[in-house]
A and B are shown apart, each in its own frame.
Chain A
Amino acid sequence: MFETLSIHSVIHVAVVLLFPPLLLGAVNRTKAKFGGRQGQPILQTYYDLAKLLRKESVFSETTTWVFRFGPVVGLATAFVASLIVPMGHASAPLSFAGDVILFAYVLALGRFFTMAAALDTGSAFEGMGAAREATFACLAEPVLFLGLLVLSRISGSLQMSGLLGDSVAGGWATSAAPLLLIAISWFVVLLVENCRIPFDDPNTHLELTMIHEVMVLDHSGPALGLIMYGAALKLFVFAGMIINLVLPFGTGSTLVDWLVFLLGTLLVAVIVGTVESVIARLKMAEIPKLLIGAGVVSLFAVILLLSYS
């Protein structure tokens, strides 16, 4: 299952540890440009993390160990998930038959504890955020799995590294329509899983309308830093999956492949920023419709693939 400790694995882990906060910076920069502002430095997230890790934490009297455990689980699970997704046109460090399911479930484990930590504060706002997160996850999960089904049929593999590997390039030649539909649906999943507009707007002044951000209201100091880094990591992982899907072509050179991959994820971040700038947040009641719509589209993709290739 484990690649021998190749140069790829080292780069993979290093990138996962260092690169993700840049994406948040890219998103913010894009939004600033659209708003006609200068915008914060692109490295701002790194400064924020460094500052948060030095700060002290306040814990509410209501909370128990679950509250402190939540951010750790959230980050650890996102980290394990990031080791499963192939990057830079090479196999991921953790790769075995069935790791696709582990990918989804390990993220669910993180979600479980993030939501439990939110409920631990006893705040109605955070309970509300947890309820919304739970609901939208229920709608996003089938979309993810329908996409995995398409890729697994195209590649004949059950490993993430196989699913999102070379076979995708061949897949674009034989069954482009399903792959395109899946890429679109996964982008919707990316937006909802990472709490982006049109699903969630962390920047509003009203906690009542938030999803993810309201769940972590009570965290502070290093714990908040872990959550922020975890969020960046999650965005990076999903962006990586989409880049593997739409740019599955290798050049043969490790360095170039990695550059293409990282620039690709930055591009995804820019697209996310653009979407956030040009679209308004949906009404809460409209969100399930969009997610179910994405589900129907990916169901259609699976049917199309099964029937016509």
Chain B
Amino acid sequence: MNGTELILWGIACSALSGVPALFLSAKSRAGQAISVVLNAVGCGLGLAGVWSFFANGPLPVVRFPSPVAGFNFTVAVDGLSAFFLVPVLLVGGLASIYGLQYWPQDKGMPNARRLSFFLGLMTAAMALLVVAGDGLLFLFGWETMAVSALFLVAVEDHIAETRKAAWLYIAASHFATLSGFGVFALLYSQTGSFEFSTLPNVTSTAAIFMAVLGLFGFGTKAGLMPMHIWLPGAHAAAPSHVSAVMSGVMIKMGVYGVFRTASFFPEIPLSWGLVTLAVGTVSAILGVAFAIGQHDIKRLLAYHSIENIGIIVMGLGLALIGRATGRSEWVLLGICGALLHVWNHALFKSLLFFGAGSVIHSMGTRELDVMGGLGRRMPATATCFLIGAVAICGLPPLNGFVSELMIYLGLFKTIQAEPASLASAAAFAAPGLALVGALAVACFVKVYGIVFLGAGRSEEAAHAHESGLAMTGPMFVLAGCCVLIGVAPLLFAAPLEQAATTWAAAESGTSADISGLSLASLAPLVPVSIIAAILIGLLVVGTAVLLRRVRTSPSSLTWDCGYAAPSARMQYTSSSFAQWLVDLFAWALWPRVHPPKVDTLFPEDTCFESHVDDTVLNKAVRPATRFFAWLFGLSRYLQQGSLQAYLLYILVIVVGLLIWRPGG
């Protein structure tokens, strides 16, 4: 069996993994076990196929007839597909294991069978989408993924808010699908085939339309900033392991779409690169700014996905600028940074969602401000979450740092270009990325501190319990991957280079040739390992020395400036922690504050509330849809319900047709 067949068998196995359970009782533990095993086996087979690609080189292309007469489905695994397959299969498999305890079928969780079925189907659909070699199969996988995700978001469909989030998701998702149709229809019109290939020229209107549809359509799925409206709601409403798959992997399919579309063009105008970079920077900065204002842990993580997609798109923008100006170093650093960040984000974001799920599982709420002190009661979850938090902030010695370092290096190289040109403007993204990094640190200190440190703010927090192995196991695997990439990035240089070469190897006219460059010579991969070793060594030695040297006097209360009776509710909350930054970004966030009204001398107990809603959704999309609803509502005046009126309409139209002579 060759690699392609392995992958296809894996996909089939995952796709059907939920089917046996459908024939068993709704509360059957065995049914769920079967589906988890099948999905895990499917993912394992797929990963074996990917391994054979990275180890032994190209896999055979498989074609089989499609339902559309005259067209074939093509399965072609190239460097880019293989690279994206890894997170799909890894996270998909781990999520279904996690679901074993998070959403146990035998404990009567709602719609558990449906969840297992669609989780497997969605994993398979995403895998199919990335190995597709032509537009038809791509769209087939895409739509299966989109619809499966709808059912996954709406698992708890008895909650009105969940249903709303699901509708918003499917509306946005279909906008993306429509754009996808547009992209591949244009590809067909330009090249005469649905198979992925390079366009003949880049200046035609069709090519420009294709680029715009690619960036904004697939960008909707990816959650780029103005089109992100569906993302926070859907991620918050879905069960946590589904959120992990959606945030870790599904939105990456949008990124994959953007990457794929970009690879169709033989050359890139500079303006496209600059626009992409700008969109990415805005998305990253505003994504993290919105995240800081949230106090629902899952909405917060969802906004961080927007931020990280922004960082990925920044890398892509840099690579496009490099292609436009013929600087192969920029291309390699940009695209490798972006690709590695795809992996990294899949790893740490899934890890964080798993951790959040573990907390929610034990607390029964997503509200940050009632948590606290969970680090003592849930040590495994806390440790894994901490690793994820440090990684997502891009701090050494974990994986986020490596990918951001590559993008930084590329951006710094743009300002060194002689002579200074428009492309040097790209360098201004570097301080932007620094701002994003500092904001992310602020945000994750807040999350980690509020949830896991300090004293518990509620009864539930005081009685929280650690999750079982099926939930902590996947977290440890992901945390291990984060550490591995951060400590030994050189191991991953080969697949990165392979994927980057595939992406940039469009039959290039002037575009930069990156095949002669090696990542290790451009980015300090070995020094990163050495620094990581030094840092970890210092920390271990320092902690050991400190622990040995310290004589502890009997422990006491927190000093707290001498206040002797502090209560847990007096601690800084997530909202108060974030207030400064929310105020600084008030021009974008429009925070809503409901201060208490005090109008008597002896006021009753009162409360204060503040929240940050989605500005784009509330200030742009909602009013626009309301306007259209009103506009189309006007046509209701025609619907009078009287037969005479309808007969009159017919008469008017017939007369109108008689008078109207097209072209006459």
Are A and B close enough to touch in the complex, i.e. CB under 8 Å? yes
B534 touching A217, Cβ below 8 Å: no
- Per the bound structure, the CA–CA distance linking A252 and B365 in Å amounts to 66
A-side residues, CB < 8 A to B, are 1, 53, 56-64, 66, 68-69, 71-73, 75-77, 79-80, 94, 96-102, 104-106, 108-109, 111-112, 115-116, 118-128, 130-132, 134-135, 137-142, 144-146, 148-149, 152-153, 156, 158, 207, 217-218, 221-223, 226, 288, 295, 299, 302, 306-307
**B640 contacts partner chain A, Cβ-Cβ < 8 Å:** no
Q: Which B residues are CB-close (under 8 A) to A139?
A: 584
Decide: A112 and B441 in contact? CB cutoff 8 A.
yes
Find out whether the CB atom of B445 lies under 8 angstroms from the CB atom of A60: no
Query: Contacts of A60 on B, CB cut-off 8 Å?
Result: 555-559
In the bound complex, how far is the Cα of B445 from the Cα of A307, in angstroms?
A: 39
Q: Is the CB of B538 within 8 A of A80?
A: yes
- What is the CA–CA distance of A101 and B442 in the complex, to the nearest angstrom? 18
Is A102 within 8 A of B580, CB to CB?
no
Question: Would you give the shortest CB distance from B552 to chain A, in whole angstroms?
Answer: 6
Judged by a CB distance under 8 angstroms, whether B458 is at the interface is: no
Q: Which residue of B lies closest to A127 (CB)?
A: B572
Question: Are the C-beta atoms of B538 and A62 separated by less than 8 Å?
Answer: no
Known interface pairs A112-B395, A138-B442; A130-B542 also in contact (CB < 8 Å): no
Contact A119 B409 (CB under 8 A): no
Bound-state Cα–Cα, A131 to B555, Å = 26
Known contacts A105-B395, A131-B580, A141-B434: A58-B453 contact under CB 8 Å: no
Chain B residue at minimum C-beta to C-beta distance from A214: B561
How many Å lie between the Cα of A206 and that of B159 in the bound state? 48
Which A residue sits closest to B523, measured CB to CB? A98
**A109, B415: Cβ atoms closer than 8 Å:** no
- Of B430, B434, B524, most A-chain CB atoms within 10 Å: B434
User: B424 contacts which of A72, A96, A306 (Cβ < 8 Å)?
Assistant: A306
Cβ of B453 and Cβ of A119 under 8 Å apart? yes
B residues contacting the other copy or chain, number (CB 8 A): 82
Known: A57-B553, A105-B401, A121-B558. A127 touches B547 (CB 8 A): no
Is residue B376 contacting chain A, with contact meaning CB distance below 8 A? yes
Q: Point out the residues of chain B lying under 8 angstroms from A66, CB to CB.
A: 375, 386, 453
6 more CB-based (< 8 A) A-B contacts, given A108-B441, A122-B568, A288-B580: A1-B524, A75-B542, A97-B523, A104-B434, A127-B571, A226-B546
Instruction: Check A122/B375 contact, CB under 8 A, given A58-B552, A61-B555.
Output: no
Chain A proximity of B571: nearest CB distance (Å) = 5
- State A158–B542 Cα separation when bound (angstroms): 30
Question: Does B535 have its Cβ within 8 Å of any Cβ on chain A?
Answer: yes
Structural contact, A123 and B405, CB atoms closer than 8 A: no
Tally of contacts, chain A with chain B, CB under 8 A: 258
Q: Which residues of B contact A108 (CB under 8 A)?
A: 393, 395, 437-438, 441
Instruction: Select which of B431, B547, B551, B584 is within 8 A of A149 by beta carbon.
Output: B431
Enumerate chain B interface residues (CB-CB to A < 8 A).
Answer: 372-373, 375-376, 386, 390, 393-396, 401, 404-405, 408-409, 412-413, 415-416, 420, 424, 427-428, 430-432, 434-435, 437-439, 441-442, 444-446, 448-450, 453-455, 523-524, 526-528, 530-531, 534-535, 538-539, 542-543, 546-547, 549-561, 566, 568, 570-572, 576-581, 584
Verify A62–B558 contact, CB threshold 8 A: yes
Q: Can you report 20 A-B residue pairs in the complex whose CB atoms are below 8 A from each other?
A: A1-B530, A56-B551, A56-B553, A104-B434, A105-B396, A105-B437, A106-B531, A109-B390, A112-B445, A127-B571, A130-B572, A131-B446, A134-B445, A134-B446, A134-B581, A138-B442, A138-B584, A158-B409, A222-B550, A226-B546
Q: How far is the CB of A121 from chain B (nearest CB, A)?
A: 5
Q: Known interface pairs A60-B557, A98-B409. Does A77 touch B535 (Cβ–Cβ under 8 Å)? A: yes
B394 CB contacts on chain A under 8 angstroms: 105
CA distance A73 to B527 in the complex (A): 20
Given contacts A69-B543, A112-B445, contact A125 B561 (CB under 8 A): yes
CA distance A114 to B526 in the complex (A): 28
- Counting chain B CB atoms within 10 Å of each CB, which of A68, A115, A135 scores highest? A135
Is A76 within 8 A of B538, CB to CB? yes
Contact of B431 among A59, A69, A145, A152 (CB under 8 A): A145
